[in-house]
Structure 1
Amino acid sequence: MIARHAASDLAHRLGEHAEAVCRHYLSNGRRQGTYWTVGDVRNAPGRSMFVRLQPSPKGPPGKWTDAATGEHGDLLDVIRESLGLVNFRDVADEARAFLAMPDVESEQRPTMKPPSARTGSPEAARRLVAMSKPIIGTLVETYLRGRGITTLHGTAALQFHPHCYYRPDDHGPTTTLPAMIAAVTDLDGHLTGAHRTWLASDGTGKARVNTPRRAMGDLLGHAVRFGVPGSVMAAGEGIETTLSLRCAMPDMAMAAALSASHLAAILFPPNLRRLYVIRDRDPAGDGARDCLLERATDAGIEAIVLSPAMDDFNEDLRHFGLGAFRASIADQLMRKDCIRYLTEAA
Structure 2
Amino acid sequence: MTGSASDLARRLGDHAEAVCREYLSNGHRSGNHWIVGDVRNTRGRSMHVRLKANAKGLAGKWVDEATTEFGDLLDVIRESCGFVDFRDAADEARRFLAMPRAPWSTSRAQPQQAAKRGSPDAARRLFAMSQPIAGTLAERYLAGRGILLAARERALRFHPGCYYRDLVTGETQTLPALIAAVTGLDGRITGLQRTYLSPSLSPGLDPSGKVGKAQLIDPRRSLGHLLGNAIWLGLEPGAPIPVMAAGEGFETMASLRTVMPALPVAAATSANHLAGLTFPPGCRRLYIAADADAAGRHGIERLSQRAGEAGIEALVLRPQLGDFNDDLRHLGTARLAAWLTDQLIPEDARLFLPSG
Q: What TM-score, normalized by structure 2, do the two folds share?
A: 0.79
Check the 8 A contact 2:115/2:121 in 1, yes or no. no
Shift of the alpha carbon at 1:188?
2.1
Q: Distance in 1 between matches of 2:125 and 2:306?
A: 33
Q: Distance in 1 between matches of 2:115 and 2:350?
A: 48
Paired residue for 2:215?
208
Paired residue for 1:109?
none
Q: RMSD across aligned C-alpha pairs, in angstroms?
A: 3.3
2:332 matches 1:321: yes
Which residue identity is paired with 1:208?
Q
Equivalent of residue 137 in structure 1, options 135, 138, 144: 135
Which residue identity is paired with 2:180?
A
Equivalent of residue 242 in structure 2, options 231, 237, 260: 231
Shift of the alpha carbon at 1:192?
1.9
Check the 8 A contact 1:236/1:256 in 2, yes or no. yes
Equivalent of residue 318 in structure 2, options 294, 307, 312: 307
Shift of the alpha carbon at 1:298?
1.0
Which residue identity is paired with 2:300?
R
Q: Distance in 1 between matches of 2:30 and 2:319?
A: 50
Q: Distance in 2 between matches of 1:139 and 1:227?
A: 22
Equivalent of residue 268 in structure 1, options 264, 274, 279: 279
| Alpha-carbon distance change, 314 to 85 in structure 1, aligned in 2, over 3 angstroms | farther
Check the 8 A contact 1:226/1:255 in 2, yes or no. yes
**Runs (5+) with no aligned partner, structure 2:** 103-113, 202-209
Q: List per-residue Cα deviations over 1:116-160 (Å, max 9, x = no partner).
A: 762322222222222223222221111011011134455221112
Q: Distance in 1 between matches of 2:46 and 2:349?
A: 58
| Alpha-carbon distance change, 323 to 64 in structure 1, aligned in 2, over 3 angstroms | closer
Check the 8 A contact 1:275/1:302 in 2, yes or no. yes
Check the 8 A contact 2:241/2:281 in 1, yes or no. no
Q: Distance in 2 between matches of 1:301 and 1:122?
A: 30
Paired residue for 1:163?
161
The answer to which structure has the higher helix fraction is 1
Most deviating of 302-311 and 172-181: 172-181
Alignment map for 1:1-346 (pairs within 5 Å): 8=7, 11-27=9-25, 34-36=32-34, 51-57=49-55, 59-64=57-62, 72=71, 74-83=72-81, 84=83, 86=85, 88=87, 91=89, 94-95=92-93, 97-99=95-97, 101=98, 118-170=116-168, 172-201=170-199, 202=201, 204-228=211-235, 230-342=241-353, 344=354, 346=356
Check the 8 A contact 1:263/1:292 in 2, yes or no. yes
Which residue identity is paired with 1:199?
L
Shift of the alpha carbon at 1:282?
3.6
- Secondary structure of the 1:119 match is coil
Q: Percent identity?
A: 55
Most deviating of 260-269 and 190-199: 190-199
**Runs (5+) with no aligned partner, structure 1:** 106-115
Which residue identity is paired with 1:62?
G
Shift of the alpha carbon at 1:92?
5.6
Q: Distance in 2 between matches of 1:340 and 1:47?
A: 41
Check the 8 A contact 1:168/1:210 in 2, yes or no. no
Q: Distance in 2 between matches of 1:336 and 1:76?
A: 56
Which residue identity is paired with 1:98?
F
Q: Distance in 2 between matches of 1:326 and 1:69?
A: 58
| Alpha-carbon distance change, 29 to 327 in structure 1, aligned in 2, over 3 angstroms | closer
Which residue identity is paired with 2:234?
G
| Alpha-carbon distance change, 96 to 182 in structure 1, aligned in 2, over 3 angstroms | farther
Q: Distance in 1 between matches of 2:319 and 2:27?
A: 50
Q: Distance in 2 between matches of 1:71 and 1:226?
A: 39
Check the 8 A contact 1:236/1:242 in 2, yes or no. yes
Shift of the alpha carbon at 1:210?
3.2
Q: Distance in 1 between matches of 2:282 and 2:36?
A: 42
Which residue identity is paired with 1:190?
R
Check the 8 A contact 2:95/2:101 in 1, yes or no. no
Paired residue for 1:113?
none
Q: Distance in 1 between matches of 2:147 and 2:331?
A: 13
- Secondary structure of the 1:120 match is coil
